[in-house]
Chain A
């Protein structure tokens, strides 16, 4: 099951729109997007980035787009941050600074 069409994630976009990605960490193939407000978005990706890969773009989130195999964050300054997903679903989880669940897929 593959798909290249990316459509706006209507549930996640309004939650993180306006938040700034301050840092990106990796725990094996799981990416952790740390936002300026202390919230953390965990993404199970298809693979960890290769050693020595250039640092990812950071910035304020404008929208989230998603297909069955990838998720993309449109950032201010016309840049975008994209991750290949390990599965079509069940790969993304957002918790606020206090650890409370804000979004899960």
Chain B
């Protein structure tokens, strides 16, 4: 009886291993078609999340607005700054705030006629802390409410890329390219294979507190 149980257990383990190998092989075939145009993962470092072929999927590459910006309208734009500039404490405070008229235009470019407080932010696709500019080419209305990819999650990628640029593990141009190309793929590669719900919940609460204090810009321009 015991021998029969052991044999069954071994057979189950072998079956599970076989399924895992097959799934991995299929996933890598699928990803090879889409990975050619996506950023390559950085060299593995101690403590970094394990990058697997399942991390970046074809669905990530196919994501469209409102999860990622339209590349034709928002290809990204940068300032003429260096890693030394952006890594200096207080860098972002030296950059002018986006004028209200420009924010309205960013909403209008995406057909957002009106929105509730806390629904969107005008996001710098290439974040200020990565040398992104205030140009309309770099601005898009990003939702706080889409799931699982939203403005809270993108913030984590921005912080991680900034940290890596300043630590010298990735160069600034590469970091800008990663976030401009497809920030969801960038998140999976550089932060975590899946959006981190605990940290986003904390940020959401903090954002909601801030929203109560700050008035919202209401878009006025009509849809083009």
- Name B's interface SS: loop
Q: How many residues of B contact A (CB 8 A)?
A: 21
- B-side contacts of A102, CB under 8 Å: 94
Distance of A105 Cα from B133 Cα, bound (Å): 7
Distance of A92 Cα from B79 Cα, bound (Å): 10
**Closest beta carbon of chain A to B97's beta carbon, Å:** 7
Interface string of B66-93 (1 = CB under 8 A from A): 0000000000010111000100100100
- Select which of B88, B98, B99, B105 is within 8 A of A100 by beta carbon: B88
Among A17-25, A72-80, A82-90, the stretch that binds chain B is A82-90
Q: Are B135 and A87 in contact (CB under 8 A)?
A: yes
Q: Point out which of B91, B96, B105, B138 has the most chain A C-beta atoms below 10 A from its C-beta.
A: B96
Distance of A87 Cα from B139 Cα, bound (Å): 14
Q: Point out which of A1, A87, A104 has the most chain B C-beta atoms below 10 A from its C-beta.
A: A104
- B-side contacts of A89, CB under 8 Å: 96, 98-99, 102, 133-136
Interface string of B56-70 (1 = CB under 8 A from A): 000000000000000
Q: Are B136 and A105 in contact (CB under 8 A)?
A: no
Interface residues of B, Cβ cutoff 8 Å to A: 77, 79-81, 85, 88, 91, 94-99, 101-102, 105, 133-136, 138
Interface residues of A, Cβ cutoff 8 Å to B: 1, 3, 9, 11-12, 68, 87-90, 92-93, 100-105
